[in-house]
A and B are shown apart, each in its own frame.
Chain A
Amino acid sequence: MTRISTGGLIDRSKTLRFRFDGTNYSGRPGDTLASALLANGVRLMGRSFKYHRPRGVLSAGPEEPSALVELRSGARREPNIPAPVVELFHGLEASSQNRFPSLGFDLMAVNGLLAPLFSAGFYYKTFMWPASWWEKLYEPLIRHAAGLGRAATEDDPDSYDRAHLFCDVLVVGSGPAGLAAALAAGRRGARVVLCESGPLLGGRLLAEHTEIDGMPGPAWAAATEAALRDCPGVTILRRTTVAAVFDHGSYVAVERVADHKPVPDSHEPRQRVWRIVAKRCVLAAGAFERLATFGDNDRPGVMLAGAVRTYLNRYAVLPGRAPVVATSGDDGWRTVADCVRLGIGVAAIIDRRSEITSQQRQLAEASGAQLLLGGRIARVYGGTGLYGLDVEDAAGKRQFVSTELLAVAGGWNPAVQLACHLGGKPVWSEHTQAFVPGTLPPGMSVAGAARGTFGLAAALAEGSAAGAAAADGTGFAGSAPAVPRADDAATTPAPIWFLAGGRGKAFVDFQHDVTTADIAQAQQEGFVSVEHMKRYTTHGMATDQGKTGGVAGMAAMAALTGRSMAETGTTLHRPPYTPIAIGALAGHHRGKDFRPTRRTPAHDWAAEQGASFVETGPWLRAEWFTQPGERTWLQSCTREVNAVRGGVGVCDVSTLGKIEIVGPDAGAFLDFLYINTFSTLPVGRVRYGTMLREDGFVFDDGTTARLAPDRWVMTTTTANAPRVLQHMEFVHQVLRPDWRVAFVSVTDQWAQFAVAGPRARSVIAAVLDAGFDVSDAAFPFMAAGNFTSLGGVETRLFRISFSGEQAYEIGVPSAYGDALVRKIAAAGAVPYGLEALSVMRIEKGHPAGGELNGQTTAMDLGMGRMMSSKKDFIGRAMAQRPALRDPQRPALVGLKPVKAGDRLRAGAHLLPRTATHRIENDQGWISSVAFSPSLNSWIGLGLLANGPARHGEIIRTLDPVRGGNALAEVVSPCFIDPDGVRLRG
């Protein structure tokens, strides 16, 4: 637990100060939080999930299951962050989690005493009596105890970026295999993206004492990086983890742009998600050393032997005095060698084999260690920090060894995760004693340790070959790449180390506290499939997803069932490779930027008039225009309705869908789309139409005008505009491709305004350029035509009315919309909004959103007679189904409260007046309501069983969710001017 005086990839010229659990420490640039803590003598870093066992750091990478901290504070607090991946920065703050009151003294550790009760699946078997206690008592307790860290309780203040990259070859990982692959592909001219999780390129080269092409590993990595930078097609992304593989060469990578800083620079995103599309991918993600299973294998001070080398070589930290190295193969001897080279005395070496090489014997001698061949760890001492071991030699002779560090080399698991995201199962390799990638995603190849190739020279060769082949596959051929030279003795593969016996719990999942006993119990209870075992014990389900302990659990199950590892198999690997911040995946799309906003050409004008805007789909629409003295929306709305009905008003209807249709077959096309006939409509006229879906229900409605023999303009509802266009494209391209008809959306082309009220004509006349005749005779109800306004600007005029008043819709190209609406208002029209529009359409009984809900038929809406029997049209056949023609179906009616002043509510249900309030008596519902100033009453439209035959009946409107219960009279849905005198006036 000291900083080694020389070496390491840290900058000794600078000091970084940081805090852990309130104590000040210092470290060096190049350190991680874990290495800095170790260098400061801190071994206890966290508590486990269930038993609150004291935990230190096991690994030196993202596979870390134990040393999880809450990083930063306040709005930037991040729970469960593995200390070995946190780059140290000045002012870093971190604290341990899941402990009370403190890390050293955790009262919750009492759970450890109750451990026998907390066996696998204990909660499924109990907490059932009395039933009501589950939510009141048991579950709150369980919930409180569960979880590890705490989420921030404020909104995330940082921003996240999302960006796209395309390449020929994506290389995942920058160890020797990845560097060689990138270089081989880059030198051939391919576009290469190299992603490396860490801040430095080199992978294990940064952690091991190696030599390539005569250079120390880190120097070779730096030289290769420089060479890659000389290849014009190569992009290097550091601090970037490839997190997920999707279909067809789509990858997701997360770049930690600013996580190594206290806070991001101004405008800098904290992280960036890259969506990478790659023709080929070389997976060179390396391998994870696996934990060995023995009693108390989780004590702070027990570490992976490879991680110990990382701390020694990369961070110049000795994680504990007088190390003991335990190994199941040759690999642990590297740790011994590093200790010897650095002058660190080794207390003992345990090799599970009885035979070792002569070099290893020499090493053992040089290290000064006791050598125990065929030995095992019998007992681990130290709760919050290891202080000694009982070791046993092959003969069973046991002795105590004083040590602070147990470095365990139990073999490596290739990082196969990304190879499995498309469902490929890893396969057991007897040769490597590990699961290696099986069926690969199309376009992917694997090199180096990720493929189970653990030798350095072999990794380099494999990487070069894979990079060259990937480049070849994307059209960049070349001669065989020069393979860098490295001498490393081939190491024998190490089997999974399952040390039976010993005292204490043997963990196979550190974070979730799953032990071999839990696995055994799962097996006893029939949860023998690894997927069942995982789900029952939660093995491999923590943030590390079993990177170090997964295979150990499988091995335990294999041993219990007598099945081979191949038969036992592994559980499925799923994205992400390591956890990804939710904010990063969301990118900029949060808050107001969640979705884009559509504004009409009259938006600014409306805002000036005091509009209150409402979101309707992507649009913002003016709901009403508050005038001085108005305190409620109803006041504004009522004034606006009165202004229209008593004078003239203007409403922005630009959001309605507009589709311009041209061509000789346009009439036939419209006949096919609508239930009624359009081909017979004369030029200069407009007609209301209804469309069905092919299943016979109403899809949309609106008016369509014929502006010239072969030119039409259709309007749709705002909500359905995109879907109607899509439907028309389907009908044309798939069903009627021979028809000569062309159409595009002109919703955005035209700013359109409804001008309504008894004085509408005079306003229109004032707005149009001089010389046009818009008298009723020249331009009657349902006329349409081309005019000009604003001094020669092309203008479309339609005499249509949603409000029931004399009314027009007038449209100009959008750039002129602002000018036009100002002119209309100047001519005396009072602005009215969506609410007033809605009041007036309800007064007229026109169906809209509440009625066009996809569940109603044309007959339901009183439009049954519009359905032409003379032609085929979309939806005709299916509309004939018996249930759609049932006269008992709810159909459109008007509703008026019996008691003046009673308020109707949309969503209330309709029941016979005296019926009990039960669903059997439910006969319909209210679909829209409004306060009608003209009738001085709330009114509603509703759908009532057999409604049209029940005008005059008093029914009950029931709204229990708002406490409403009123009587209403069933009336015609048209409340005002049923003969249409006004609109024709």
Chain B
Amino acid sequence: MVEHSAFAGAQAVTATQGGTTVRAIEPLSVVSVTAWRGQEAALADAVRATFGLDLPQAGRWTAHAGLTAIWAGPGHWWLQRGGRSALMQELAALGDHAGLIDISDARAVLRLRGPLARDILLGLLPLDLHPSVFTPGQVASTIAAHMTVQVRQLDDKPTFDLSCLRSYAGSLWRALELASAGPPRLSALSA
């Protein structure tokens, strides 16, 4: 196999307690899209017209027909598809309104799913992930175990995607391992 996992050395899928799982999501095609100043609306229109996708507001992500848009900062999004695809070419027309940079291999993503997911994340992320506060459709970037980590909630199972710089993949894996090592911290919140 030519492609190599960012998590080389770690098991690709592992079960933690209580039916909660973690697995690597790769490969992905990701393009960083930064609107030129004043072109945010034009960019949004172009994305909507071409891909039928609404660019998300701050702190949110949206998806349509396999294309996901993740907010990464004001005027800044990551457009993402699963698997390897020629996403840069697909998005080329957006270049009138924005700067496009391929970051498909720049990040490593772990998907954490199951009833203990929140309890585990209490031990990692300095974010309020309570269901009344953080819901599917939201994304946030923060510091965790001395790394920049982006967390994105996919559904209510709950499922979270965590991503970090690819070179830190092993350390993110390790951080999750440590965060899930002991018995659950609070049964109430993880229910």
Contact = CB atoms under 8 A, between A and B. Distances in A.
A598 B165 contact: yes
Interface in A146-182: 159, 161-166
Contacts of B165: 598, 747-748
Nearest to A664: B36
A750 interface: yes
Contacts of A599: 167, 169-170
Nearest to A605: B4
A162 B171 contact: no
Contact of B185 (A272, A747, A813): A272
Contacts of A524: none
Contact of B2 (A275, A604, A746, A819): A819
Given A619-B167, A749-B105, A819-B2, A742 B98 contact: yes
Interface in A635-654: 654
B133 A597 contact: no
B188 A235 contact: yes
B4 A737 contact: no
Interface stretch (B49-57, B62-70, B109-117, B122-130): B122-130
B155 to A, nearest CB: 21
A186 to B, nearest CB: 12
A597 B171 contact: yes
A163 B185 contact: yes
Interface string A746-786: 11111000000000000000000000000000000000000
Contact of A740 (B36, B105, B133, B186): B36
A793 interface: yes
B106 A748 contact: yes
A195 to B, nearest CB: 13
A589 interface: yes
B183 interface: yes
Contact of B4 (A159, A267, A749, A816): A816
B4 A275 contact: no
A445 to B, nearest CB: 22
A920 interface: no
B161 interface: no
Contacts of A749: 102-106, 166
A813 B125 contact: no
A663 interface: yes
B82 interface: no
Contacts of A737: 37
A654 B106 CA distance: 12
Interface string A492-535: 00000000000000000000000000000000000000000000
A582 B81 CA distance: 45
Contacts of A272: 185
A748 B105 CA distance: 7
Contacts of A267: 181-183
A714 to B, nearest CB: 12
A744 B145 contact: no
A373 B185 CA distance: 54
B182 A600 contact: no
A742 B6 contact: no
Given A662-B101, A819-B4, A596 B168 contact: yes
A950 interface: no
B105 A815 contact: yes
Interface string B80-114: 00000000000000000011111111110000000
B48 interface: no
Contact of B186 (A235, A663, A815): A235
Contacts of B3: 815-816, 819
B12 interface: no
Interface residues of A, number: 58
Contacts of B122: 163-165
Contact of A588 (B106, B125, B178): B178
Given A162-B123, A166-B130, A595 B185 contact: no
Interface in A329-380: none
A742 B99 contact: yes
A818 interface: yes
Contacts of A593: 174, 178
B4 A742 contact: no
Contact of B167 (A277, A598, A660, A662): A598
B147 interface: yes
Interface in A1-49: none
B104 A742 contact: no
A267 B179 CA distance: 11
Contact of B99 (A275, A603, A662): A662
B4 A663 contact: no
A818 B182 contact: no
Contacts of A742: 32, 34, 36, 98-99, 101
Contacts of A748: 105-107, 165-167
A683 interface: no
Given A746-B103, A749-B104, A749-B106, A663 B166 contact: no
Nearest to B76: A742
A402 interface: no
Given A595-B146, A814-B166, A161 B182 contact: yes
A662 B103 contact: no
Interface string A652-667: 0010000010110000
A457 to B, nearest CB: 31
B30 to A, nearest CB: 9
Given A596-B147, A790-B2, A816-B4, A744 B37 contact: no
Nearest to A659: B101
B13 interface: no
A814 B103 CA distance: 10
A965 interface: no
A65 B36 CA distance: 65
A275 B126 contact: yes
Contacts of A618: 168
B189 interface: yes
Chain A CB count within 10 A is highest, among B123, B167, B175, B186, for: B167
Chain B CB count within 10 A is highest, among A604, A660, A663, A815, for: A815
Contacts of A741: 99
A743 B36 CA distance: 11
Contacts of B123: 161-164
A139 interface: no
B6 to A, nearest CB: 7
Chain A CB count within 10 A is highest, among B5, B171, B182, B189, for: B182
Interface string B124-140: 01111010110000000
Nearest to A750: B105
B18 interface: no
B180 to A, nearest CB: 9
Interface string A234-260: 010000000000000000000001000
Nearest to B3: A815
Contact of A818 (B4, B102, B133, B169): B4
A564 B112 CA distance: 62
A746 B30 CA distance: 12
A269 interface: yes
A663 B99 contact: yes
A793 B130 contact: no
A741 B57 CA distance: 22
B2 A268 contact: no
Nearest to B35: A742
B27 to A, nearest CB: 6
8 contacts: A269-B181, A277-B128, A588-B175, A599-B167, A748-B165, A749-B105, A814-B6, A816-B2
Interface of A: 159, 161-166, 191, 235, 257, 265, 267-269, 272, 275, 277, 588-589, 593, 595-601, 603-604, 618-619, 654, 660, 662-663, 737-738, 740-750, 790-791, 793, 813-819
Given A738-B37, A746-B102, 9 more contacts: A164-B123, A165-B122, A235-B188, A272-B185, A588-B175, A588-B178, A598-B165, A742-B99, A813-B105
8 A-B pairs with least C-beta separation:
A742-B99, A596-B171, A742-B34, A166-B128, A598-B167, A749-B106, A813-B105, A662-B99
